[in-house]
Amino acid sequence: MKDDAPRLQNYLRKLFGNDNLKVVLHPKKTDMAEIMIGDEFIGPVYHEEEEGEVSYQFQMAILDIDLEES
């Protein structure tokens, strides 16, 4: 995860059109990082490897009260 964090960050910044998005490595877990926008935690991203294929799983919770504000 450590080596791919900059590439993942660049990809997500382009995907979401937000240069404030950061991939912050987890201090104790090598297969997980946190996605932040500024100081706000958006969700975790997990490094998955199966049969030599690498993928990343991003999880983001959206609360119903967040939808009311938009």
- Each residue of 2-28: pLDDT tens digit? 889 999 999 999 999 999 999 999 889
What are the beta bridge partners of residue 52? none
- Residue 2 to residue 17: CA distance in whole angstroms: 23
Would you tell me how many other CB atoms lie within 10 Å of the CB of residue 46?
15
Determine contact, residues 36/21, Cβ cutoff 8 Å: yes
Tell me the C-alpha to C-alpha distance, in Å, between residue 54 and each of 37, 42, 61, 64: 25, 22, 23, 33
Number of domains making up the chain: 1
Query: 40 is in which domain, residue-wise?
Result: 5-68
- Residue 57 to residue 54: CA distance in whole angstroms: 10
- Each residue of 57-68: pLDDT tens digit? 999 999 898 888
- Each residue of 32-44: pLDDT tens digit? 999 999 999 999 9
The structure's pTM equals: 0.83
